[in-house]
Structure 1
Amino acid sequence: MNHTNEYLKQSPSDHNNTSSKPSVIFIHGIGLNSFLWEPLWSYLSNKYNIIVYNLPGHGLEPEPSSPITWNSLCRQVISIIDLSIINKFHLVGHGIGANLAIKIALYCPERIESLNLISLSGFNRSAYLQREMEEQTHLIENIDRTELVEHLIPSLTVNYKRPDVHSLIRDALHHVSSSSYIQLLKLIADNNTIHDLASLTQPTLMLSGEKDPVYTPVISAINSSYIEKGRFFIVPNASNLTFLDQPEWTAYWLKNHIDSTVPEAPDFSSITSDPMVHSLHKGIHTVDRTFQVKQILKVQLLHKFQVSVNGIEITDGWNKRLAKKLLLYLLLSPNTTREQLYDDLWPDSELRKAQNYLRVCLNHLKLLLGQHSDRFEFLHIDREHITIRGTIRCDLLELIKDLDEAVQEQDEETKESRIYQVWRKLPNHILSGYVDDWILGTRERIEEQLSQLAQWMESRSKLSNHSQMMSLKLSRHPNHDQFQENKEAIMN
């Protein structure tokens, strides 16, 4: 069976009659390949026209010659779909494949009929996840991937001791390109998953394994709350690879969502013979979140500080109890942990004092944001995590997104247009007045990207006077005395 990206999987009886079937594109997770989807085919192949996509440097796909970006991945997937003469389609993604499915939905929204996200990847930039990323980067560079396999596999499947499952995952990891793996890992780490989810307009299903130790059902449920037309289900007795651990359950929810109808309940008897577990599985926990009324939190940070909830400005209380700083932190890390907040906001305080400070500051911020919110809570607080949710509109986040897109853009004319769009949003000073390491890192990243774009513009300076002027302006530090004068010159 050929699993390159030109592979179109059809049932033999309908080989020449796929046009009437819904088309479904499957995108696997990092370090894996399309072979891992095979347990689903017996449930899906007769009903859908299936295309499987291999990430660059995975499976039989070669390592790309150019850097991997979200835009390059989107273009590659769309080009493969276009070869199959398919206009509209459904997307199923696992891990970073789910992140890519979201990017494709934002890239060409008119062509996506539904999204199906399994164990969606999303870093909250905690110290733990940063260490995990560094550990995987180190292990993938070893020629012998045995240590990486043993490090990852217990968190991927409940059946990791089964020889056939272990072999399948081991073979996938042994054949992945280390360069592609590291580039994709960085894409996940730098991605604003919450912003992407809040931007979706397509019907979206999110599945989480009951026993996933990393992207737990609690985290996935919180993430799903950002989706306007979202549904969330927990797959019982499954870890991260739900389609390996429970292919029948996974296929059932996929068909349910893709068909937009509620079919008859599946036969649970084949899942387990234990009567008690059988009963528990029938009572699977589900959360169906479809927002009827959007709660909008608008925050301006670049040219002035202003916060409004549902169009009503909140003017008082921001100079107390670190309200501004805490809000900025949560906007940049919308799903963070208490421990990370202790370390970043009160690094020199004893743990008990830091806990008290955080409790007081969170209560104050929660009261501020609770004004005019129709009793909707923008802050979700539990014993471990603090999450900001709802529809968030923030000029700083938009600038960061525009910068990322400008840096990644490959088409020269589009890139220049994106750079000009970035320029129009730049303030006189970027995040001035903040001296904490966590915010300095964000500012340095913005300035580094601006410098990178300036160098690119300089390389095109002979092509047009406009390019030359843009290069000169962007190359100046945002805090330079001539910044405003230069900005006005180029905008006129």
Structure 2
Amino acid sequence: MSVKYYIDWEEILLNWINKCGVSICYQYLKSKNPHAKETLILIHGIGLDLHSWDDVIPYFQKNFHILRYDLRGHGESDAGIKQRNTEVLYHDLVFLIESLHISSYHIIAQGFGGMVGIYFASRYQGNLQSLILIGVPIYYPKKLANQVIQKRKEEVKGSPSMLKLGEQLIEKICYQLSDEKKHILLNSYNKVRPEVYFDLFNLDILNTTVADFQRINIPILMLSGSEDEIYPPEFNIAGLCFNQKARYLSIPDASFLIQMDEPKLTADWIKQFIEKSKSKNFSGHKDSYLEDLRTQLYTEIGGLLNRKKDGVSDVNELQVNMLDGFKVYINGKKLQDGWGRRKAKQILCYLVIHQSSTRDELCDVFWPDVHLEKARNRLRVSLHYLKSMLDRYSNSDCVPLLGTNREHVFLHGEVHSDIQSYLKMMKEAQSVESEERKYQYFTQIMMSETEKVLPGLYEECFLNLRTWLEKEWLNISLYLADKYEKQGNIENTIHYLEIALKYIINGREELNQRLIKMKKLRSKSSV
């Protein structure tokens, strides 16, 4: 079955295809370019329909074939009797692609449609070349998401369609709202039943998006409007930390519906991205500096943004002590058991010291003599075990303490450690020029000197840190011994000489003779 309508005075056909008794409305438009080989597959947002792409179609058609369709229960597509979810919509998309024999293609998906695109790209791919996401929430705070869902349910309670919600949203999602655009948008919301809308707009679907997004291994472009009030630019930027192949651009003078507000600019930027993504130089950030910058930037910004508010923390607090015995506290509760398994203790200590790490780096540190693939499997098991331990004492409403993506492992929340504070103090002491300040720093540093530093940590990286600390303690104790000897303070001189003797290798006999001399002076002075 097909129906005619017009865009820019050109006759266009609406078509339907039947999948297991469900009629799906779609359009396949040939490119104006006779040499075009690739297809753009357009997936609209929840509550909308394929007409949300009308304004941008003429620009896309210059270089690409186009497939756009109505999701189940939207526009002219049947809702079906099955519960709508990303898996059902995924199979609809696969059916369309295979039925229409589409070979090489790119997916452009908006809002919830982006979750269908992410689900598809993380599983099927086939000849999928790239994924373009418009205003797609990669991660949405659970508590806020639940509030938004409940509020929207109240707004349409007793209504046969989502029209009431559409009337509230259209001025927010479209920056330059004309009567024509208003008609298109309200018409689309009026065709969606609340049960269809809330089958799709729910926490279960929102909660799985991050994991799917991390598995995608093709170029990703994330777009949003600079004036988008629902998914503002900073919200979209935060999604970049979950996949190193993702890029982000903000369309000026546009809200959520960038293809309606700025159709030409949107099409141009997507075309440029697609062309660049085919370049051999386009890949994930392999430069170690950029990898570290990205991971540490988002980890630390997350910590800064999630400080305590009104005495109640909205993030988990992790305290790890390893200077004089190993102790772990989460939100004030001590974790005592389970640290002797799966290298949980070692991996946690490494992450606390280094803040973040790549997966391969952890493999090199903890399984240096194991084949990389086996090491990665062991790391996966160890991270799962460590995460389950940390989650047991964590607040489930907060972001989990242990964060991972395809390349990186890092810690979220407020992370504190005696070793971090100690290393920071030692660094500050070295930069102090005032002798009096240096003396104060060194005295405080030596108060934490201990023979049990980094207990039970025997990997090379920890042994190197222990060696460095002992060398610093040697130098500081000699500095303080010299200072106290000049002051005539025999007791303190002896104290720091005894500490230095624990760590000195070369010149041990000479230092021992000096200690004996000081003890003789003490004996004489006590007579």
Superposition TM-score tier, normalisation by shorter sequence: 0.5 to 0.7
**1:178 aligns with one of 168, 188, 194:** 194
Work out whether 1:53 is the aligned partner of 2:69: yes
Shift of 1:243: 0.6
Distance in 2 (CA, whole Å) between partners of 1:354 and 1:130 is 20
Q: TM-score by structure 2 length?
A: 0.53
Following the alignment from structure 1 to structure 2, what is the Cα–Cα distance between the partners of residues 394 and 69? 29
Cα distance in 2 for partners of 1:183, 1:336 equals: 34
Match of 2:353 in 1: 371
- Structure 1 window deviating more from structure 2 (137-146 vs 165-174): it is 137-146
What is the match of residue 153 of structure 1?
Answer: 170
CA spacing shift, 1:21–1:186, aligned 2, 3 Å: same
TM-superposed CA distance for 1:78, in Å, is 0.9
- Partners in 1 of 2:196 and 2:304 — Cα distance? 30
Q: Is the 8 A contact 2:138 2:236 kept in 1?
A: no
Partner of 2:106: 90
Q: Whose relative contact order is higher, 1 or 2, with alpha carbons under 8 Å and at least 6 apart?
A: 1
Q: What aligned pairs does 1:334-353 form with structure 2 within 5 A after superposition?
A: 351-353=309-311
Which of 57, 64, 79 does residue 80 from structure 2 map onto?
A: 64
Distance in 1, Cα, partners of 2:285 & 2:94: 30
CA drift of 1:252 comes to 0.9
Q: Secondary structure at the match of 1:137?
A: helix
What is the CA distance between 1:74 and its match in structure 2?
Answer: 1.2
Taking the aligned partners of 1:371 and 1:83, their CA distance within structure 2 comes to: 54
Amino acid at match of 1:156: I
Equivalent pair of 2:351/2:357 in contact (CA under 8 Å): no
What secondary structure is seen at the aligned counterpart in 2 of 1:90? strand
- CA gap of 1:43–1:360, structure 2 versus 1, over 3 A, is same
Question: Whole-Å Cα distance in 2 between the matches of residues 396 and 40 of structure 1?
Answer: 48
The Cα of 1:8 is off from its aligned counterpart by 3.6
- Does residue 205 in structure 1 map to residue 199 in structure 2? no
- Corresponding letter in the other structure for 1:66: K
Deviation at 1:236, TM superposition (A): 0.3
Q: Measure, in 1, the Cα distance between the counterparts of 2:102 and 2:199.
A: 29
Cα contact 2:31–2:63 (8 A) shared by 1: no
**Matched letter for residue 145 of structure 2:** L
| Corresponding residue to 1:291 among 285, 288, 291 | 285
Asked if the contact 1:11–1:46 (Cα under 8 Å) also holds between the matched residues in 2, the reply is no
Aligned residues: 326
User: Distance in 1 between the 2:15 and 2:304 partners?
Assistant: 40
Deviation digits for residues 220-263 of structure 1 (CA, Å, limit 9, x no counterpart): 11102322212110100111111111111110111112233799
Q: The residue matched to 2:131 in structure 1 has which SS? A: strand
Partner of 2:238: 222
2:267 matched residue in structure 1? 251
* Residue 133 (structure 1) aligns with: 149
- CA offsets 1:41-73 (integer angstroms, 9 cap, x no match): 111113211100211100000112112232221
Q: Which runs of 5+ in 2 are unaligned?
A: 6-13, 17-23, 322-329, 331-347, 359-375, 399-527
> When the two structures are superposed, what TM-score results if normalisation uses the length of structure 1?
0.56
For 2:101 and 2:51, the matched residues in 1 are separated by 24
Q: Which runs of 5+ in 1 are unaligned?
A: 264-287, 298-308, 310-329, 343-350, 377-390, 399-424, 440-492
The 3-state SS of whatever aligns with 2:253 is coil
Larger radius of gyration: 2
1:9 and 2:28 are equivalent in the alignment: yes
Provide the aligned C-alpha RMSD in A.
4.4
Query: In the aligned structure 1, how far is the partner of 2:268 from the partner of 2:120?
Result: 24
Deviation, 1:434, is 4.3
Instruction: Measure the CA separation in 2 of the matches of 1:216 and 1:394.
Output: 34
- Tell me the amino acid that sits aligned with residue 148 of structure 1: L
Q: What is the distance in 1 between the residues matched to 2:382 and 2:305?
A: 24
CA distance in 2, matches of 1:231, 1:367: 32
Contact 2:73–2:193 (8 Å) recurs in 1: yes
1:192 paired residue among 208, 221, 230: 208
SS of the residue 2:120 aligns to = helix
Q: CA deviation at 1:197?
A: 2.1
Deviation, structure 1 residue 109: 2.6
Q: Aligned match of 1:115 in 107, 127, 131?
A: 131
Q: What is the CA-CA distance between 1:169 and the residue it aligns to?
A: 1.0
Letter paired with 1:291? H
Residue 369 of structure 1 aligns with an amino acid whose one-letter code is: L
Q: Which residue of 1 aligns with 2:97?
A: 81
CA distance in 1, matches of 2:304, 2:201: 21
SS of residue in 2 equivalent to 1:253: helix
Deviation, 1:437, is 6.6
Task: Provide Cα deviations, 1:337-364, integer angstroms capped at 9, x if missing partner.
Answer: 967x86xxxxxxxx44336x96975999
Equivalent residue letter for 2:213: L
Taking a change above 3 Å as real, the CA distance of residues 21 and 230 of structure 1, as seen in their structure-2 partners, is same
1:87 shift after superposition:
2.5
Q: Write the letter of the residue equivalent to 1:88.
A: S
Describe the superposition over 1:235-292 as per-residue Cα deviations: whole angstroms up to 9, x where unpaired: 00111111111111110111112233799xxxxxxxxxxxxxxxxxxxxxxxx99421
Counterpart residue identity of residue 75, structure 1? H
User: Separation in 2 of the partners of 1:108 and 1:77?
Assistant: 10
Does residue 29 of structure 2 align to residue 29 of structure 1? no
Could you report, residue by residue, the CA deviation over 1:196-217 in whole angstroms, capped at 9, with x for unpaired residues?
2221100111101101112111
Deviation, 1:367, is: 9.7
Q: Supply the distance in 2 between the matched residues of 1:124 and 1:396 (Cα, whole angstroms).
A: 27
Asked whether the equivalents of residues 213 and 239 of structure 1 are also in contact (C-alpha less than 8 Å), the reply is yes
Q: Deviations over 1:374-430 (max 9, x none)?
A: 799xxxxxxxxxxxxxx9x877998xxxxxxxxxxxxxxxxxxxxxxxxxx9x9x99
Q: Aligned equivalents of 1:12 and 1:123: distance in 2?
A: 35
